[in-house]
Amino acid sequence: MSTRLAKGGRLIDRTAAVEFTFNGKRMKGFAGDSLAAGLLANDQMLVGRSFKYHRPRGIVASGPEEPNALVNLGREARLEPNQRTTTTELFDGLEATSQNHWPSLEFDVGVINNYAARFMPAGFYYKTFIHPRPFWKHVFEPIIRRAAGLGKAPTQGDADRYEHAYAFCDVLVVGAGVAGLLAAKAAADTGARVILLEQAPVLGGRAPVDDAQVQGKPVEAWLSAMEADLAARDNVTVRLRTCAAGVYDHGYVLADERVADHTPGDGRPKHRLWRIRTAKVITATGAIERPLSFAGNDIPGVMLAGAVRDFAVNFAVSPGDRTVVVTNNDSAYQTALVLKAAGLEVPAILDARDVVTGALPEAARKAGIRVLTGHAIASVKGGKRVTGVSVCLQAGEGAVTEEIACEAVAMSGGWSPVVHLYSHCGGKLNWDNGISAFVPDPMRPPLNHDGSAMVECVGAANGDLDLSGTAPAIPPVWVMPQGAPIKLRLKMWLDYQNDVKVSDVQLAAREGYMSVEHTKRYTTLGMATDQGKLSNINGLAILADALGSEIPQVGTTTFRPPYTPVTIGALAGESRGDIFQPLRRTPMHEAHERAGAYFEPVGLWRRPYTFPRAGETHEQAVHREVVNTRTNVGLLDASTLGKIVVKGPDAGRFLDMLYTGVMSTLPVGKCRYGLMCNEQGFLSDDGVVARIDEDTWLCHTTSSGADRIHGWMEDWLQCEWWDWQVFTANVTEQYAQVAVVGPNARKLLETLGGMDVSKETLPFMQWADGTLGGFPCRVYRISFSGELSYEIAVPASHGAAFWAACTQAGKAFGAMPYGTEGLHVLRAEKGFIMIGDETDGTVIPQDLGLDWAISKKKADYLGKRGQERSYLASPDRWKLVGFETLDGSVVPDGAYIIADGTNANGQRNTQGRVTSTYYSPTLKRGIAMGLLKHGPTRMGDVVEFNTVQGGTVKARVRDTMFYDKDGEKQNV
Amino acid sequence: MLTLECPYCGLMADETELSPGYEAHLKRFGPASSPEEFEAYMFARKNPKGVHFERWRHSYGCGKWFLAARCTATLEVFGTYPAQVGEPPADIIAKIQARRPEWKAGWQPDGKDTK
């Protein structure tokens, strides 16, 4: 059994005991422990179940590469699934529960998959669940969904907060082991601004465990001197518990700082996401030890040799009284020596190599440890924990030469440099035969904006696995024993979490998978939460061997950020709830809130959809607002309407290119409706243009189009017609705009008083400056409703007061505010188009019967050539008409007009679609506009719209002017 | 997340301050152009792996459009320059040729300058 040793443990404080629970069981640990160390100290070898076969799983590693020991951490609003116990710091009151088991960790029903394992090879899901088709939805998927999934998604909102922070530096060093510390110091010596990130809570990396001395000094003394040196420098910032998750273009690095994971609820942000821009990245990210592939290498108690060493030295945790070490390199001998020194037994070191002569092996022999060279593990014995190993010859096929009883196995298959950050932005790798690993190619680094190398690797991350710089060779040992038969290969795990075995990768190769990327997806190798950190190289080697190819030719899968998972909360940062995104509010927003407005988002704006009264549904409120606007007077907050000033000697010429109509001839004081198209000819925006003076025009755009159209104007002025003398200014937010609409509109304005708004002085489609109720204003006599209508712009700072004045003055005339839905109904009753309803980026003005707004005389305008294309000029295009349902009902939104017959997919043919559909409270019936093939020539025809429920609605084709065809209401 | 120097501000702007505007040095074809010319102008983009000329706007800065020459494969930026030019400045061409000796000059939509 695993236990706590009586002495030692460089990271733990034995005077500070902490209590925690695992699956409700109370356990004791010390401050400084990782959760994994705490679990092992309490003999909790079994910590989870694998994904597919529900095999018992124990702790394998001691760092972020851990694939097995993932737990649900915390509860309720602080529940986090898939937390790695090896990187979780223990604190008093920590609650952890194991994952992927049912009903319990000890007794798991899903383990039946294990006995059926030979029926569930690679690609099992693809192969099995295809037929019969209905079975997938009703039988297979519900079962798989219940059985699948590691961890539980929290059901409550996150109680913690997260924040983003920005940092800039000349050199960013990732990893504070010996190599990283030296790199940071060297960079700092040049005067560079340095940031040093370390994912662990302490500096030093592996050195305090693996090395007695650094640069001739005792390691602990060297480290404290270095720590003090860096801390004393103004140009160096050291951040612990901070993992560089990704390296992006031009020195952009994302790093996740676990600020308060170990002190939950103390008021600090749980994580801080650093967005760092650096001139250069130096990665000193070390190397990750590889498992060996022998039968039963997944049984709890089989651990990486380096991890066994870490637990013993850092936390004084013994994995068991007797540990068998199995290796293909010298580093694992250190584990044997450490265990021996702690008073534990190492029955044997099984070394796959035939000849072993290094200093460490010699030390092990001297310590009296039995070293068996040329030997391997035939299989590990045990179920939920190791009970022993069967020994065989590495060169053979697994004939058992000896059996050794033990509680733990420490394995080392060599070390893989952590090249992830180097590779995120395209850094290339070379295969190093000396250490059997991929190492960064310094000739092919990711590049900075200036073409210099953006990332440089140092230390073990660069393949320099030993501080001495003379690491002994690590020969390739991918399968143990080398001639293992299928019976053994079926039990050799590569990916522990996803249950991918040596046999699965070999099967994939036999079935024709050549590409490593395809094999990954077929077998799910490396697709677990550790993303193949532990065993991808082992899998690549197996694939290469099965394909009769070399590892460099097979290559690696793509390294993608993040290096370790970053919680969504950290990525969201403060962008949640009320400050999820910036909101744009009109000057009258608070008045609308007081009036009980129901708002809808329009881009980043919030606009009143309607102003419901007590007891009213939104629909009833909209109908009331429409009727009142038609009979009395309505007030609309039109402030969001885009307003762009276009000014200069060439402004008229410019607008003639921008609009389909002619704006240069518009007399001062007048307004004209205009359409804008993109170069393909499709309608992009519309609005009323007012000529302010000889060289100034004011262009109204749609609410959501203001920024886009302003950018569009600038694009043409700066990039195409840069010699034209024109200035543009987006003044949308400089003005509040109120539409006063309805038969009583003039009376309302006359009550305010201050300027002449009579028919004679201010006729339809003109504007005038003046004052109303003492407010400086510009009044446009334009209408989007068909009623007598004025749109009045006042400086934004007067908006709220002017709205209040209009409301007050309107009381005598039955004024009510109306919202965007009322606006839509009013415009649809008049057959006015709405950008985004009648248009969708594939509609040209001619489709909408807007030929009258297109100049025939102009030689050119944006979109003219596009509209001349044969397809767009075709008489067979769907064109805009109105519809009235025969039964008075409302056509469903998005409905298509069906045609005879079916298409090649067996779907009903169509001949048109609805674009706007409303109940008209004015006409007391459903009205609609839509596009219909040959529409304008089919007046009076009856067509059928499909409905969501199935069936159809019959409607008669008519013109789009449902109300006041002659315009008598607006020209008064 | 690229950084590009705005030639108007002289500022190294982060990509979050910029808006992309696709290929640079396009020649507009309007009415009276042939279908082939219009197709080339509207749809036939080079989209090369390697040296490319692009339009960018310093949207959340000075608002100016500018042009950038960069390598789409390595993201190396050879230079940025104002949009009011018909072809890339000579110093940028020289820099590209120094860094990419194999590069065949090509920035016009009709490909006439491409050997």
The pLDDT tens digits for B20-75 are 998 999 999 999 999 999 999 999 988 899 999 999 999 999 999 999 999 999 99
- At residue A560, the pLDDT reads 92
DSSP state of A203: S
Closest CA to B52 of B25, B72, B66, B67: B72
Q: What angle do CA B16, B18, B24 make, to 5 degrees?
A: 145
Q: What distance in Å separates the CA atoms of residue A295 and residue A377, rounded to the nearest whole number?
A: 8
Q: Which long-range contacts (C-beta less than 8 Å, at least 24 apart) are formed by B81-85?
A: B81/B7, B82/B7, B82/B8, B83/A718, B83/A719, B83/A722, B83/B24, B83/B55, B84/A718, B84/A719, B84/A722
Beta bridge partners of A902: A908
Cα A365–chain centre separation: 53
What is the pLDDT at residue A971? 84
Core vs surface per residue A303-317: b (16+ CB within 10 A) or e? bbbbbbbbbbbbbbb
Q: Write down how long chain A is.
A: 972
Residue type, A41: A
Which residue, B109, B29, B71, is CA-closest to A866? Answer: B29
Q: Which of B3, B19, B76 sits opposite A447 (nearest CB)?
A: B76
Average pLDDT over residues B16-21: 94
Closest residue, chain B, to A276 (C-alpha): B1
Residue among B1, B28, B31 whose CB faces A868 most closely: B31
Q: From start to end of A492-549, where are the E strands?
A: 493-495, 500-501
The closest CB to that of B77, out of A449, A711, A866, belongs to: A449
Q: Do B2 and A866 touch (CB under 8 A)?
A: no
User: Is the distance from CB of A66 to CB of A79 less than 8 angstroms?
Assistant: no
- Sort strands A349-351 and A25-31 into parallel, antiparallel or unpaired: unpaired
Chain B neighbors of A866, CB-CB under 8 A? 38, 42
Residue of A nearest to B29 (CA): A865
Q: Report pLDDT for A146.
A: 54
Buried b (16+ CB within 10 A) or exposed e, A11-30: bbeeeeebebebbeeebebb
Q: At CA A228, angle to CA A225 and CA A234, rounded to 5?
A: 140
Asked if residue A682 lies in contact with residue A669, where contact means CB atoms within 8 angstroms, the answer is no
Nearest CA in chain A to B31: A865
pLDDT tens for A330-383 read 999 999 999 999 999 999 999 999 999 999 999 999 999 999 999 999 999 999
What number of C-beta contacts closer than 8 Å exist between A and B? 71
Query: Which residue on chain A is closest to B98 by alpha carbon?
Result: A451
Which residues on chain B are in Cβ contact (under 8 Å) with A715?
21, 57, 65
The pLDDT of residue A967 = 87
Nearest CA in chain B to A862: B30
SS3 A917: strand
Domain ranges for chain B = 3-99
How does DSSP assign A719-740, residue by residue?
HT-TTS--EEEE-GGGEEEEEE
Residue A929, CA atoms < 13 Å, CB-side half-sphere: 25
Position A151 scores a pLDDT of 73
Q: Which residues in chain B are closer than 8 Å to A868, comparing Cβ atoms?
A: 31
Mean pLDDT over all residues of chain B? 89
Contact (CB<8Å) B38/A869:
yes
Beta strand A642-647 with A727-730 is: antiparallel
For chain B, the C-alpha Rg in angstroms (whole number) is: 15
- Which is nearest to A454 in space by CA: A712, A688, A281? A281
Give me the residue from B14, B31, B65 closest to A715, CB to CB: B65
Say if CB A152 and CB A79 are below 8 A apart: yes
CA–CA distance, A402 with A404 (Å, rounded to integer):
7
Q: How far is B114 from chain A (nearest CA, A)?
A: 23
- Spell out which chain B residues touch chain A, with contact meaning CB-CB distance below 8 angstroms: 1-4, 14-15, 19, 21, 28-31, 33, 35, 38, 42, 55, 57, 59, 63-65, 74-77, 83-84, 99
Whole-angstrom Cα distance, residue A794 to residue A809? Answer: 17
Sequence-ordered strand ranges (E) for chain B: 3-6, 11-14, 19-23, 51-57, 65-71, 77-82
Residue B112, pLDDT score: 47
Name chain B contacts of A277, Cβ cutoff 8 Å. 3, 14
pLDDT for position A294: 97
Looking at chain B, which residue has its C-alpha nearest residue A426? B74
Rounded CA separation A482/A86 (Å): 32
Residue A888's φ and ψ, nearest 5 degrees, are 80, 0
Taking the CA atoms of residue A851, residue A857, residue A863 and residue A866 in that order, the dihedral angle to the nearest 10 degrees is: 90
CA distance A718 to chain B (A): 7
Q: Which helix (H) or strand (E) holds A25?
A: strand A25-31
CA–CA min distance B77, chain A (Å): 5
Q: What is the DSSP letter of A139?
A: I
Cα separation, A901 vs A155, in Å, equals 49
- Cα dihedral: A574, A91, A532, A349 (round 10): 160
Tell me the pLDDT of chain A averaged across its residues: 93
Tell which of B5, B23, B28 to mutate to test the A interface (max A CBs under 10 Å): B28
For the beta carbon of residue A861, count every other beta carbon within 10 angstroms: 23
What single-letter amino acid sits at A873?
A
Interfacial residues of A (vs B; Cβ cutoff 8 Å): 248-252, 277, 425-426, 446-451, 679-680, 711, 714-715, 718-720, 722, 859-860, 864-866, 868-869
Strand, helix or coil for residue A663: coil
User: In the 8-state DSSP scheme, what is residue A744?
Assistant: T
How far apart, in whole angstroms, are the C-alpha atoms of residue A739 and residue A638? 6
Whether B55 sits inside 8 A of A719 (CB atoms) is: yes
- Res B114: pLDDT: 42
Chain B neighbors of A449, CB-CB under 8 A? 2-4, 75-77
pLDDT of residue A408: 98
Q: What are phi and psi of A189, to 5 degrees?
A: -60, -30
Which of B3, B19, B99 lies at the smallest CB-CB distance from A250?
A: B3
Q: Name, in order, each residue with C-beta under 8 angstroms of A144's C-beta and a sequence gap of 6 or more.
A: A125
Residue A560, classified by CB atoms within 10 Å of its CB into exposed (0-12), middle (13-18) or buried (19+), is: exposed
Dihedral over Cα of A133, A139, A141, A142: its sign: positive
Amino acid at A476: P
Cβ contacts of A446 on chain B, cutoff 8 Å: 74
CA A197 from chain centre, in angstroms, equals 24
| CA–CA distance, A458 with A178 (Å, rounded to integer) | 10
**Min distance A716 CA to chain B CA atoms (Å):** 10
- Whether residues A451 and B76 touch (CB distance < 8 A) is answered with yes
Contact residues for A906 (Cβ-Cβ < 8 A; gap 6+): none
pLDDT number for residue A189: 98
Q: What are phi and psi of A956, to 5 degrees?
A: -100, 135
CB contact under 8 A, B1 and A248: yes
Considering CB atoms only, which of A425, A679, A868 is closest to B42? Answer: A679
Q: How far is CA A18 from CA A32, A94, A206, A942, A960, in A?
A: 10, 9, 25, 80, 76
Tell me which residue in B3, B14, B38 faces A865 most closely, judged by beta carbons. B38
Q: What is the pTM of this model?
A: 0.89
CATH number of B3-99: 3.30.2270.10
Chain B residues within an 8 Å CB radius of A451: 74, 76, 99
Give the 3-state secondary structure of residue A101. Answer: coil
Give the helix ranges, DSSP H, for A403-526.
420-424, 486-489, 502-510, 516-523
Q: Does ipTM exceed 0.95?
A: no
Residue spans of chain A under pLDDT 50: none
Question: What's the confidence (pLDDT) of residue A555?
Answer: 85
- A426–B3 C-beta distance less than 8 A: no
Nearest Cα residue to A54 out of A132, A144, A138: A144
